[in-house]
Structure 1
Amino acid sequence: MSASKNASIPFIDLAAQRRRIGPAIDAALVAVAEAGQYIMGPEVAKLEAELATFCGAAHVISCASGTDALILSLMAKGIGSGDAVLCPSFTFAATAEAVALVGATPVFVDIEADTFDMSATSLREGISTARAAGLRPVGIIVVDLFGQPADYDAIEAIAAENGLWILDDAAQAFGATYRGRAIGRIGQMTATSFFPAKPLGCYGDGGAIFTDDADLASILRSLRVHGQGSDKYDNVRIGLSGRLDTMQAAVLLEKLRVFPEEIVARDRIAATYGEGLAGDVIVPTVIEGATSVWAQYTIRLPAGTRDTVAAALKAVGIPTAVYYPKPLHLQTAYRHFPVAGNGLPVSEGVAEQVLSLPMHPYLDLPTQTRIIDEVRAAVRATR
């Protein structure tokens, strides 16, 4: 549905998707309710199998949230005190939170301004910083921010040189690809989120871990159910209650059926934004050989103009969001952790420039044209 002049439009239109597949989801939820298998019902195993088929991973372990996916992955690796895990600072708190919660130390590294993803140069500096602080660098959490993969060729080379594993934090990028590899097949493990606003989201919290390592998969399945062994009263390790409930699995199964079409639509919408806004703002770019699922469409504005532009857009019914106004290394809970090299200037710089525009697969052309016209007008008014 297109929006008239000054009519308020949604930032992410989940209702539009529901109009398309709502009856199928409702039927799936009723089926779960009538079967009564609310925890680890058959829909959970079916979803895991279909997710594995979608991306080609050997094993998929669903769980309660994207944060749990990260925590469980680190627990499966036995990460703890004295270990350092390299991660970007320009991301949501869950990435570093998971590291701190298992007792390890997050070491923050910088990003590339054009992709918002981890900088290989800063990663090298971060490894040196960790060692200088007396920590053991053991792994890297690479965040595929806003929907596109990081430059894994460069990052994997550094990981191999230093004997580090890679955990792909793909909370925003499941469905994307990197040079012939689907997200879910990169790193030793991949963690994703099914939070409702994600490109593939459920009707609550949910997440999953992807791996080709059978031993890790076995440990992860145990950890998500309190560390159980042969049965739930035979606990062989310390775990947590991290299961995906059957209702959310049923929702995801229906959403997965339309997901490939939605990815195509997101890419088309991103291309339209890029063509319409280039020259007035700095538009995001996708690295060669990769695809994005465009979890967010994030532009960059001259420092000091963002609030003015956002206010002008709000006045005409166009919502925006800032992901993220403050990098993790500047936040109260995380500012005591090590920072790569002499600081993270790119993360701090883009945090003052980024502005995300409405993005979802049901954004029609008239509405998007209105957004583009209003963004250009608002930006030009600041000059």
Structure 2
Amino acid sequence: MTECAQALASHYLTAYPKEAARSIEQLPQTVVADLLSSLEPVQIVPILNALPAMLATPVLMAMPAAIRRAVIEKADRNRAVPLLGQMSSEQQEALFAELPAGLSAELRTMLNYPDGTAGRLMDTVVFSLTGEATVGRALELLRQRDPDRVHFIKLLDSESRLSSLVDVRQLAFNAPETRLSEISRPVVDVVSPLDPREDVVRKFEEHDMEELPVIDVDGRILGLIRHSALVVALKTQSTLDIQTMVGVSKDERALSPSWFALRKRMPWMQINLLTAFLAASVVGLFENTIATFTALAVLLPVVAGQSGNAGAQALAVTMRGLALREITIGQWFRVLRKELNVGFWNGIAIAITCGIGVFFWSGSIGLVLVIALSMIIAMVAAGIAGALVPIILSRLGQDPAVASSIILTTVTDVAGFFSFLGIATVLSGML
């Protein structure tokens, strides 16, 4: 009978993770941890995703280290961030030590937001529950918290997205069995973690709020910014601005000394020069072909220009996705597949248009075939480069905003020149 009950419980937890989460969130965390530890890591992830991060994090930390590591590895990176945010710095470091180096580095990066953004101002420890939770349950959990850090309970919907708020003062005036959703109020405003500090200040001034929720692109709460923390940050920033004016900064600013800017920029300018020579050397390999068929010199910039534009589009979308945390480094293959597909069909469409124009200009079927084939290859290569270059640079700890364009230009030029002139050499008998 016991084995049968365990089998039924395992099936219920696996088949209905959201309903299971609502059922077990009332249980002690150690009991939940023991219950989930009997499942496979891939089965645990959906249940933890359905639990509020405030409840899921202690359950995760109560699991054996091997299971905890496997769960984090299986979890979506964006879902892992709210769980990590609920941990103390000591817990985070202990967990990072358990994980593979690459995954630890990626999660650290996702937890560290740029200076001057909402993510740097937020407190990641958030008191959040589902609307189905009762006043009695909320009071029970509140007694375990620092009263100075909880003013509003954040209510989550079935997808763990922020839906409404409950003022903790309302708990004293309602029966223990009252559901939190019955005494909730709408969320006035939110910010994303990459929003600039100026937007945070403006929203606080507009709504006269005590705290401002910070959510990710899917609407899940990452943390909150308290008015008091914002005031402290603004005072600190005013000091940093004075330092910047006299050049005391690790990064270049508009008023940084010229020598500082030169040291930051010159290495990349030298690299750009080398890559330009690399692209020129590709053209030099086909010097005889160009001398024989001068029409190739006229069309060469067309291929390079189109592939450069295609690469820039893929680069911009990928860098924006990384900056807004819409994608993670671990999703590189999905990004690559999408941009490869876009590059291929863009190349087909551009090749048809370009081929028609070249035919009316030259009357050469061979030249049309050369420009069409090389355009498809160059556009695909540009899409691949635009997707992978910023991801690889981010993985290596480099700033993709500084280096991506230089590397992308090299790849698109080399791919465009080599494909166009290489195909022209192979099909020279048709020109």
Would you call these one fold, judging by a TM-score over 0.5? no
Larger radius of gyration between Structure 1 and Structure 2: 2
TM-score for both structures, normalised by structure 1: 0.23
TM-score for both structures, normalised by structure 2: 0.21
More strand by share: 1
Q: Using CA pairs below 8 Å that are at least 6 residues apart, which structure has the higher relative contact order?
A: 1
